[in-house]
Structure 1
Amino acid sequence: MAILLFFIAHWFLSLFSQTFFYHRYASHAAFTMSRGWEKFFYIFSYLTQGSSYMSPRAYAIMHRMHHAYTDTEKDPHSPKYQKNVIEMMKRTNTIYMGVYNGTFPVDEKFMKNIPDWPGFDKWALTWTSSIVWSLIYIGYYILFATAWWMCLLIPIHILMGPVHGTIVNWFAHKYGYTNFKVGNTSKNLLPFDFLMLGESYHNNHHKYPSSVDFGGVRWHEVDPVYLIIRIMDWLHIIKIKNLALKRVEAEF
């Protein structure tokens, strides 16, 4: 039970950081927050993502490129141009590191109004940090695993961020259903998306990338993070810029 609870907690906390802070805030600026709260969520993201922590700045730039170049050769991660999941993950990582290190050419338009904390990222993205987090995961399993096969989950802990990204960027461009014609292969992977906290409503998102709500087109499309965001807005932790949009032209 301890292993299951640990895995579930890491899965959803890491995923929340990705969809709330990296995706909706850094990439799309769907809401605003103070500098103090921004630094809080930097630290929160580091603690929840651990060994797979990413630079919010580099993530946001790369994600904006994905929207601008979806399913073309310039797309950082497209199933149309990579033969398998592993190749796509390798290409994504290469471009991500190039963006972070400033060695990959990026159009100026993708770099505006993005959170950046270079001093924090300088430590958080070191090999030392990744190794320490990996040892923490391994140590937990040594203490609490009751069967050898449980240790097969350790690589997922270590690569949690890339695993989440791959589920959306590969599978949600190959499988699922569509509500909108958007000129690319984006699909809604899951009809009820608790597993990915709304991220798998990818077709909806490509139609309305600036909307803070990824679901809401069909009755079963509930985006759990949107509900949390509304509560945070009510508590004045954030301020929503783009409320859920009316999807009147959905083609069911």
Structure 2
Amino acid sequence: MEFIKDELQMKKLVMAFSQNTENTLDEIEFNYNMDTGNFRKGGSWDLRFGRIEDSVKNKNDVAILNRERGIWKYKAILFASTGTLFVFTKEKNLDKVIKEKSNTEKIHYFHALVYLNVENVGVNVQLDLFNFYDESFERRREIEVQKILMEYYSQVKQVYFIVGTEKNKQIVEVKVQHFNHQFEFLKEVDFSKYITKGEYEDILPRVGKNNNKPTAKPLVGIKNGLKKRSEKQIADWKQEEKEKEKEYLKS
């Protein structure tokens, strides 16, 4: 695929997207007495998007798009030099969006974004699935994608989905998938080899849920403070392992 011009950057994106979030969320939940499932689902994506943003923050040709759809906030990454936009999702969610089409009043942003993938035509045309792509719907999609991308609309040439397959709350497979204008699958590249495995589980014990939790603390600084602490432990551990390896090679 055209986007694979910077393999190292793709590796960074995949690692940031696939890193485990459960232990960090356990620690936050334990310290701040946050038991709701809503917190864990949203918190998991907050962690992922934060890591994704960090992985491209020093790239001059990258724009980080912060977008909102109702209560859902997400990030997309645009590589300006190639006009490539990356959108992040879980496999189950992507499959659901495609199967449900977009026959409701509000167009899902996935359906809006693939409107821009106009250069390729799928081999297996499934007209029975996409017979709702009439002229009126196409116009709505065009308006919607313009609203989503705003000033970046003219810069995006192709949209790719970075798709994670999850098992037991851990991403075990990551593929970059490309669809045509009608959301028909075209091709994919498997980047699962770059998934970070086992580091959180090896270092941080899972916090048991019990009735002896400390008094809830104020949530001041939780985004940039507490949730970074566990990740710093990981970074320190990695550095320590590298130093040990260097010493071993010298001996």
Q: What TM-score results when the alignment is normalised by the length of structure 1?
A: 0.26
Structure showing greater radius of gyration is 2
Structure with more helix by fraction:
1
Structure with more strand by fraction:
2
